[in-house]
Amino acid sequence: MRDQTNESKLLFAQNAIANALSIKEISIPLAQFGYNSARIKEGEVLYETAKELQAKQIKEYGEQYDATNTLFLARAMANKTYIVHVKIARIALRNNPETNASLQLMGSRKNSLSGWLKQANAFYTNALNTPKVLASLAKFNINEKQLKEGKALVNKLESSFNAQLKEKGEAQMATKERDAAMDKLQDWISDFIAIARIALASEPQLLEMLGIVEPS
């Protein structure tokens, strides 16, 4: 069952456990080898746990994908506004190297999100707190309100980034928990199959009811 998907493994376990509990022709021979109803219900608990964690893992990854998409859109919006402001600032402040440095106008924009955020935050924070910069930008119709709107987009991007990191961590944890539960279920199922093959060796049709198909 190594190459099967988690969904198929869960379906196999569900069918095998349900039939082992409900079909007397199967449950009686199994009980003779230690697999009575109480022991089979232990497997049922493992199945239910794995099933719930599988659903949780799917949900968490869906939330991660949504958060990643939100992050992508937020960066695109923030960058569009920021780049216009940077280009105008480079023109307005071309003869002021110290201000260029404080606004981090020199060089290209960082590709990494953390680097980009550092540049953008420095630009908007220092521009909004420097009257001379505000006056220079105003000559090109970039006013304080527009800069604050640009800063708000950067803040929204930071929030989206933090949310995406949170969802990513939760998805990874959900996967770890799901995998651990599936391993426990598979260990139980492996032993169950081995015993079923012994207990029902002369009844291949009963093995098939458990999903166990013997080679012909």
Residue 2 pLDDT > 60, yes or no?
no
Sequence-distant contacts of 207-216: CB under 8 A, at least 24 apart: 209/19, 209/23, 209/26, 210/15, 210/16, 210/19, 210/20, 210/26, 211/12, 211/15, 211/16, 212/16
Torsion angle in degrees (nearest 10) through CA of 172, 113, 111, 101:
-160
pLDDT at 1 over 60: no
According to the model, what pLDDT value does residue 216 have? Answer: 59
When pLDDT is averaged across residues 181-207 and rounded to a whole number, the result is 96
- Residue 37 within a domain: yes
In a domain, 183, yes or no: yes
30 within some domain: yes
- Reported as a single tens digit per residue, the pLDDT across 61-105 is 999 999 999 999 999 999 999 999 999 999 999 988 889 999 999
For residues 115-137, give the mean pLDDT.
Answer: 97
At residue 215, does pLDDT exceed 70?
Answer: no
Task: Give percent of the chain with pLDDT exceeding 70.
Answer: 97
Is residue 116 situated within a structural domain? yes
Q: What is the domain extent for residue 147?
A: 6-209
Does residue 68 form part of some domain?
A: yes
Structure confidence at residue 95 (pLDDT) = 87
Tell me whether residue 109 is in a domain.
yes
The answer on pLDDT for 60 being more than 90 is yes
Domain membership of residue 214 (yes or no) is: no
Q: What is the pLDDT of residue 52?
A: 98
| Total of domains in the chain | 1
